[in-house]
Amino acid sequence: YNIIAVDLESPAGVAEGVRELGGSNAKSDVFRRQEGVALVTKVHGPEYLGQLKQMLCLLTQAYNKHVGYDVLVFTTIPWPRDAVQALQNVISPAALTVALDSKTLHEELAEMGPEEAQFLLNRCNVTTADQLKWTSKCCLRFCTTLKYAWQAEFRSYRIWRHPALTRYKYMLWMDSDTLCSKPWEHDPVRVMVENNLVLLGIPCCLFGEHEELMRKMQAAYGKMICSVSLSESSGSLLPRFATEQETLDGKCKGSPRFHTAAGHFHLTNLDFYRLPTNQKFLELLVSPHRFNRDWDDQLAVFVPAAVEAPDRVWNVIARGMSLGLVHNRRLDFNLTHKLEFQFDEWFKQEGGSMWQWPDAKETCEALITYSG
C-alpha cells in the first residue's frame, strides 16, 4: 500500500497550534490531547473532496481545533497533490495523511485463485476480468457495487494493520457523510483513554444471519454469543454466551437478539482489534468470498468487543455525550425522528444550528453544500 501524502503540517506545528487553542481557555478543562490518536475516514477517490471539506471543517470547529489530532483519509483511487493540499488547508494546523487502501482492481483480481476469480465474474454477471470496474454491480446475499463491497471488507478486516495506522493506538472513525451540527461539549477520546475502553460508540441494528455468525465466532474464539443486551447506565455489553448444548447444536434457543455498532461513528482501541484472536475472527468474518457486503464493519467492531471485553464498551448516548452528529438525516442516531430538510438546508436555515455556532458559520458556511 502506498501512502500518498503525509504530514503536510509538521507535528511540531500541530502541537504548537493546540497549545495556542487550549491555553488557559476553560475548554482545556474538557479537552485534553491524548497520545496515539487519529481521526479516520474513507472515500473512494478525490471526487469526494468537497464532501470531505464540509465534514472535516465542521469536525475541526466542533472538536479537533482543541486537540489537533492527525487526520487520515483512506482512498481507493489516488489523489492529485493539489486536492490533498486543498483538504490540508481546511484542517490546518492538524496533520493530514491520504493513503491508498487498495491495489488497482485488476491487481486485486490477479491475486485471487482461479475458482474465486470465476465466482466473482459470475456474481458480477461478466465473462472476463477486463469487464470489471469498481462500479460493477455484484451479488451474493446483497447486490452492490464492487467499490462499496470493498469498503466493507477494508473497514472490517484490512484497516487494522494498514501501515498508515501502525503508529496509532486509537481511531476515531467518522463516515464522510457524518456531520457535526454543534460544538462538542465532551471529549470522547479522553473518555475512551481514561476509562481504558476498547469501543465507544452507538449500538444500532439487529443482525439477522445469526447462525453463520455463530459459526465464525466459534471458529475464532471457541465460544459463541446468543444475544447481547445493554447496561442502561453505561451502555456496556451484557452478552449471553451459548450453553454447551446450544454450542453443539450450532444455534441458540429462542430468537437471538444480536445488535451491531453503528458504523458512521465509533472510537476503537486499535491494539485490541490487532490481537491475534480478534484478527482471526475478522479474517473469518469477511471470508470466504472477496468483495462481499454481507459482512461489514458494524459487526467487525462489535463482535470482538462483545466476546472479549464487553465491560470495556460504552454507549455515548447512554453516557449522556450528545455530540450533535447528523447522519442520514438522523440527529444523534434518533431513529424515531428525521430532520425535516437535508443537512445543508437544515443547518443553514435562518435561526438554525449554524447561526448559533459562529465559528462554523465563519469558517465552514461556504463549504456546506452537501446533503449529508
For 208-221, how does the pLDDT look when each residue is reduced to its tens digit (9 = 90+)?
667 888 899 999 99
On whether residue 372 sits in a domain, the answer given is no
For 31-63, how does the pLDDT look when each residue is reduced to its tens digit (9 = 90+)?
999 999 999 999 999 999 999 999 999 999 999
Residue 176 has pLDDT above 90, yes or no: yes
The verdict on 156 and 228 lying in the same domain is no
* Number of domains making up the chain: 2
Side chain identity at 224, as an amino acid letter?
M
For 122-133, how does the pLDDT look when each residue is reduced to its tens digit (9 = 90+)?
999 999 999 999
Decide if 178 contacts 333 (C-beta within 8 A).
no
The verdict on 282 and 320 lying in the same domain is yes
pTM listed for this prediction:
0.90
The verdict on 254 and 265 lying in the same domain is no
The verdict on 352 and 300 lying in the same domain is yes
The verdict on 242 and 272 lying in the same domain is no
- b/e code 326-352 from CB counts within 10 Å (16+ = b): bbeebbbbeeeeebeeebbebbbeeee
How far CA 96 is from CA of 44, 176, 359, 364, in Å, comes to 17, 15, 21, 18
Of 197, 229, 259, the residue that ends a domain is: 259
* pLDDT recorded at residue 27: 62
Quickly list DSSP for 191-244. HHHHTT-SEEE-EEEEPS-HHHHHHHHHHHHS--EEEEEE-TTT--EEEEEPPH
The verdict on 252 and 289 lying in the same domain is no
The verdict on 36 and 148 lying in the same domain is yes
The verdict on 120 and 20 lying in the same domain is yes
205: alpha, beta or left? (left if phi > 0; alpha if psi -120 to 50): beta
The verdict on 91 and 239 lying in the same domain is no
Side chain identity at 4, as an amino acid letter?
I
The verdict on 232 and 343 lying in the same domain is no
Of 222, 237, 259, the residue that ends a domain is: 259
Which CATH number is 104's domain given?
A: 3.90.550.10
Percent residues over pLDDT 90 in the chain? 64
The verdict on 75 and 178 lying in the same domain is yes
- Segments forming the whole domain that contains residue 268: 3-205+261-367
On whether residue 255 sits in a domain, the answer given is yes
The verdict on 118 and 69 lying in the same domain is yes
Percent residues over pLDDT 70 in the chain? 91
